[in-house]
Structure 1
Amino acid sequence: MTSLGAGPEPATRRGRSRPAGWLRGNVPGAAGALIVAGMVALAVVGPLVWGEAAARIDAAAILQGSSSEHPLGTDNLGRDLLARVLVAARYSLLLALAATLVGASAGVVLGTLPSVLPRRAARLATGTVNALVAFPGLLLAMFTAVVTGLGARGAVLGIGVAIAPGFARLTQTLAATVAGSDYVAAARMLGVSRRRVLTRHVLPNIAEPLILNLTQAFGGALLGLAGMSFLGLGVQPPQFDWGRLLFDGFPRIYLTPEVALGPAAAIALAGIGFNLLGDALARAAARTPAVGERPPPPPATGPAGEPDPGAVLEVRDLTVSFPGGLTPVRGLSLTAAPGEIVGLVGESGSGKSLTAAAIGGLVPYPGTVAYTALRLGGRDVATLPDRELGTELAMVFQDPLAALNPALKVGGQLAEVAVVHEDAGRAEARRRAVDRLGRVHLPEPGEVAGRHPHELSGGMRQRAVIAMGLMGTPRLIIADEPTTALDVTVQRQILRLLREVADETGAATLFISHDIAVVGELCDRVVVMYAGRVVEELPAGRLAAGAAHPYTKALIASLPDLDTDRSQPLAGIPGTQPAPARVGPGCAFAPRCALATERCESERPELAAHGGDGRRVACWEVK
């Protein structure tokens, strides 16, 4: 489990981390950075220092081999080849840059089209990408160069066209993951134009991996352009790049091989340097830190307040945001006491699951998490070692089949928790796994431990996931809609099990659901979320008769019961929840609220105490 940082101001932690000093200890990356820096410096000063020597014609030194005056020999006009290799660095790198930008631009456009086009057009774009990827890149580059004309321009376009399919495939893959996100679906439902969806929601979320890929693509473009010039399809005299110099020196390679050695070494060195640097950057920006490595928290310059001695979980001012002005969770604060089950309820898209992900350090890239305090057992989560956090925090997800590895047996997966986090022996870990499966009332736990997840029913898999959380000594259990995919009978069994686990272990439980009836039955306290904010907090026993916020009342009123008149339409809440990027300055529920006033539209109410017994409400109209 990855921890989050904290500080006096809201601490910030990205959904992925880039450790400081990313070249430290990375010899290949450092070598690549050094080579690239040298090549860039050479491109800047080369023509200024050696430009005159590279252009000087000497009829007395035509086609000479290596000498003290000309270490790499001379060409057919007596010009010094070492000077020409050094001077050619600028033109070679500029051409490679141009080809990379052409390929990247075309690839990004082609790759993002399937995520915003209608279905048939998206299929056509996807088919085009697949066809281009299957076509050999060198042949594509040569064909383009011949069609557009020999020379530097044709070579740049040819290599750009050859690079584009790879960028398109990468972009398409990245964009597909973003296009399936709830905030993109919400934007489409709200009628946001395809162009705006692309530029505001899709591209900002995939920009970083594409930029990192540019470095490696640059190295490939450099090698490709050199190959085009070597084949006579690229740079033409009197211009010259490294590939052209290699082409001119190749006929003499058997008599004076040094004339081809210089440009060949420059091409190889530059290509290796850019590829090593690109690989180092990609590793540094990897979404999952290396094993045993944890990103350092932001520096603290003052206290974030005294810990609540009666709280297992303490969250203050939690905010989760994404590029493009999307803030699905806004300033959330909550606590959970030992043995207490706190229900987090709200419509889909209200920020419940992202709240759980932020507490567990699982917010997906490129999300940013900020908070004033995030404590588990009174200790800042950032200070907890990974091994300790992995045993004190357990998470139960909605889909147990996705939470369990289908290739491994259930018992082995449970035992792995004890082996990794507590250094238990395999025999002891296996015994404990069988014991925990028995504790969650699975019949014949020894036999269940020897089965694969697909051999268990949905309810049995969910019990196995809960048992996995009990392999350690959890102080906090986060259950993210653990009963949504189960039938009513199994759902009740799982709810009873969660209550039993909380009572027996004393662990606090954060139970997340969109079903307010389930929350009211299971939980001790209910926290109601709307549009990323807490709008009401009250004891579960007061939920039916004591709810004060209009949104909570509307949720309760929408629940059918045995007395509901089946001849009438089911009660509902008019309107829709605003998208994270469209929450205004006032109360987010105001457009759907019958009690809303002008003040509600312009001024956001803060969560304030209401009545007694710990109730809090964020509403101007609740007195």
Structure 2
Amino acid sequence: MNRRTAHRWLRVLRTPVGRTAAVLVSVVLVLAVIGPAPWAARADAVDTANILAGPSGRHWAGTDNLGRDIAFRVLAATRLSVGLALSATAISLLAGLLLGAAPWLLGRRLGRLVTGAVQIAIAFPSLFLALFFAVVFGVGATGAVLAIGLAGAPNFARLVQTLLAGVASRDFVAAAQIAGVGRFRILIRHLLPNIAEPLVVNVTMGAGGALLAFAGLSFLGLGVQPPAYDWGRLLYDGIGVLYLNPAAAIAPALAVLVAGLALNLLGESVAKGFGMDALVGLPAAATPSPAAPAGTAPPMADSADRGPASDVVLDVRNLTVSFPAAAGVIRPVRGVTFSIGRGEAVAVVGESGSGKSLTALAVSRLIDAAGRVDADRLHLLGTDLREPDSAVQRRLLGSSLAMVFQDPASSFNPTQRIGRQLAEISRHHHGLGRRAAFTRAVDRLRAVRITDPERRARQYPHEFSGGMRQRAMIGMGLMGSPALIVADEPTTALDVTVQRQVLDLLTAIRRSDDVALLLISHDVAVVSEVCDRVLVMYAGRIVEDLPTDRLMTGALHPYTRALAAVVPRMDSSRERPLPVIPGRPVDPADVPQGCAYAARCPLASPRCRAEDPPLQRHPSGHRVACWHARPEPAQADSVRPATSGDRS
């Protein structure tokens, strides 16, 4: 248990409700552990002279129809009552974990079937399910445990599905997928540890519910059978003599009430102390993605000229990413074509929603299961990434592709030490032992300029600053021998000084190891200093592919010139408002006919609104998709001063 978790538990115990619940639960558990032995003789002693006697100094809760002491029988029944409730809770948790993790392990289609079955089961009251399973499994303690356990499984399954869906979208899970780690290993090492705390809360409350449910089944005669007895069975016997000795029913009922209340109070205290909400909803099932019809985007022209095929690290031709929606199929990436050579740094720039990050995710095979990726070619080091998932692909992605995500705070698993997370790649792909893999992790942290790497490798992510986490993320990519680094907005969450350090580090790695770099950014100034070539994206398409040195003065597309013109400069007048690109970006669900930029372009003509220009080579040397492509410096022909109505 790390210090953070220990502090949370101390915070739980400091509250009055938490202390009260902890004391009550401790008393119940101690009585259960001690078991019936200390009270067995008094509990089973038959005294025909004191049959159905009322409460007295000798018999605090009176006696039953055989003269046995009811108070001692309640104490003796603690172990069986608590043990059966915990057993049923364990079955609910285990079955819930299996059903909840099924969509992650089995994939979209089979996962949808499991999710549908869980939704149907959730629609029925738990008591109804428990009675149904009790009839199926038969009368007795074993049947009741299975009945209550399986009746509680759908609730746990829904909880697990919801929690896993939230954690699975985190960057450290994507990093593990890129590293080629299998789904089961990701589930065990990355997903389940991050949902352990809310599971503890719900298991505690579930145990209280199971205790009450088990007492109910025994009271109905479907649970524990004579001569064995639990609190529910004692309550059943006490109800029969309620008018002769009310304490015979009150004593076991009070035991059920105190134990159930203690478990529920403890669960609520833990939920508040950990800052969680124990009430969760069921995520909607993933919608199957229909096949994308052909002919949705004009064919792209030839890619930038490359050298020999062996020098091409990434080759992408006519890449399309589509998602199903109520109104039809949405294609946020439409026919993207480009390639990257060894040691080359290529930037992808554009406004939010232009398809930059989705292009990077498609290359990294990280598109959500509901999405569909189509391409005429999608090759990394000559390997076709369109083929079904295989060990060869996972090994290639794990050793040859490094991914640097936008948010360094979510790039690492918060439940594991940094060194262990880096070492996982070498243990999984390179066959190194635990110590050798950790030694390499320390070396990679040193390579990315983290001071005292031996100590840092044993720390948790929350003990790192944002810049250190980003550098450690780069170090994770260097655990293999990457040929391509994909950096998706790697400096957005960092201050200016740390941004420069991260960019300098990426540049140094690229030059020293001849590594290709694909940098996703919206900051034209950043890419101008780091990259050799720029891909400008708008509405899911590449509208211009040009060398970086032409970005500010030799751009051909009006959109590229507008992006360059809105970059603040040191000599910009402070008296004038910053310029903006007029209008709003195109909604991927409603891409207009013709050129998507026409509504915002000052050069637009009727042809622009009717025909979408192909990406083709211009006489100036680089590729551009515009009917009015012409070399002009970045100026205010495509921008205007900001006003209160601007949203772009």
Letter in 2 for 1:578: V
Aligned to 1:264: none
Contact 2:408 2:493 in 1 (8 A): no
In the alignment, is residue 608 of structure 1 matched against residue 612 of structure 2? no
Alignment of 1:284-433 (within 5 A): 308-324=309-325, 325-381=329-385, 382=387, 384-433=392-441
Contact 1:463 1:494 in 2 (8 A): yes
Identify the range of structure 1 (374-383 vs 578-587) with the bigger mean alpha-carbon deviation.
Answer: 374-383
Partner Cα separation in structure 2 for residue 420 and residue 540 of structure 1: 38
Relative contact order, CA 8 A, sep 6+: which one is greater?
Answer: 1
Gaps of 5+ in 2: 1-102, 133-150, 170-219, 221-284, 288-301, 631-648
In the alignment, is residue 592 of structure 1 matched against residue 600 of structure 2? yes
How far off is 1:611 after superposition?
Answer: 3.2
CA RMSD of aligned residues (A): 4.1
Q: Deviations over 1:257-295 (max 9, x none)?
A: xxxxxxxxxxxxxxxxxxxxxxxxxxxx999xxxxxxxx
Letter in 1 for 2:378: L
In the alignment, is residue 510 of structure 1 matched against residue 518 of structure 2? yes
| Change over 3 Å in CA distance of 1:139–1:395 after alignment to 2 | closer
How far off is 1:463 after superposition?
Answer: 0.4
Q: Deviations over 1:203-254 (max 9, x none)?
A: xxxxxxxxxxxxxxxxxxxxxxxxxxxx9xxxxxxxxxxxxxxxxxxxxxxx
Partner Cα separation in structure 2 for residue 21 and residue 365 of structure 1: 10
Aligned to 2:552: 544
Q: Deviations over 1:113-138 (max 9, x none)?
A: xxxxxxxxxxxxxxxxxxx99x7564
How far off is 1:564 after superposition?
Answer: 1.1
TM-score relative to the length of structure 2 = 0.51
Aligned-partner SS, 2:580:
coil
Q: Which runs of 4+ in 1 moved over 6 A?
A: 15-23, 139-142, 165-172, 304-307
Q: Deviations over 1:341-389 (max 9, x none)?
A: 1001111111111111101110012000000101111232338432232
Q: Deviations over 1:420-468 (max 9, x none)?
A: 0111122221111111111111111111111111111100000000000
Alignment of 1:201-220 (within 5 A): none
Aligned-partner SS, 2:322:
strand
Partner Cα separation in structure 1 for residue 104 and residue 507 of structure 2: 34
Contact 2:286 2:370 in 1 (8 A): no
Aligned-partner SS, 2:579:
coil
In the alignment, is residue 580 of structure 1 matched against residue 588 of structure 2? yes
Query: How many equivalent residue pairs?
Result: 367
Q: Deviations over 1:280-334 (max 9, x none)?
A: xxxxx999xxxxxxxxxxxxxxxx9999443111000100000022101000011
Aligned-partner SS, 2:347:
strand
Aligned to 2:487: 479
Aligned-partner SS, 2:312:
coil
| Change over 3 Å in CA distance of 1:286–1:104 after alignment to 2 | closer
Q: Deviations over 1:525-551 (max 9, x none)?
A: 000000100000111111111111111
Letter in 1 for 2:316: V
In the alignment, is residue 619 of structure 1 matched against residue 623 of structure 2? no
Aligned-partner SS, 1:385:
helix
Contact 1:531 1:578 in 2 (8 A): yes
How far off is 1:567 after superposition?
Answer: 1.6
Partner Cα separation in structure 2 for residue 368 and residue 462 of structure 1: 30
Q: Deviations over 1:162-206 (max 9, x none)?
A: 99x9799799969x98xx9xxxxxxxxxxxxxxxxxxxxxxxxxx
Partner Cα separation in structure 2 for residue 171 and residue 570 of structure 1: 48
| Change over 3 Å in CA distance of 1:562–1:316 after alignment to 2 | same
Aligned-partner SS, 1:582:
coil
Aligned to 2:67: none
Contact 1:16 1:365 in 2 (8 A): no
Contact 1:16 1:364 in 2 (8 A): no
Contact 1:388 1:421 in 2 (8 A): no
Aligned-partner SS, 1:519:
helix
Aligned to 1:153: none
Letter in 2 for 1:444: D
Aligned-partner SS, 1:461:
helix
Gaps of 5+ in 1: 1-14, 24-28, 33-96, 108-131, 143-161, 181-230, 232-284, 288-303
Partner Cα separation in structure 1 for residue 345 and residue 629 of structure 2: 26
Aligned to 1:451: 459
Partner Cα separation in structure 2 for residue 485 and residue 21 of structure 1: 36
How far off is 1:582 after superposition?
Answer: 0.5
Aligned-partner SS, 2:586:
coil
Aligned-partner SS, 1:387:
helix
| Change over 3 Å in CA distance of 1:496–1:401 after alignment to 2 | same
Partner Cα separation in structure 2 for residue 18 and residue 519 of structure 1: 41
Aligned-partner SS, 1:315:
strand
Partner Cα separation in structure 2 for residue 400 and residue 347 of structure 1: 21
Aligned to 2:243: none
Contact 2:470 2:490 in 1 (8 A): yes
Partner Cα separation in structure 2 for residue 350 and residue 434 of structure 1: 38
| Change over 3 Å in CA distance of 1:332–1:449 after alignment to 2 | same
Partner Cα separation in structure 2 for residue 308 and residue 376 of structure 1: 11
Alignment of 1:144-163 (within 5 A): none
Letter in 1 for 2:410: A
Letter in 1 for 2:574: R
Aligned-partner SS, 2:551:
helix
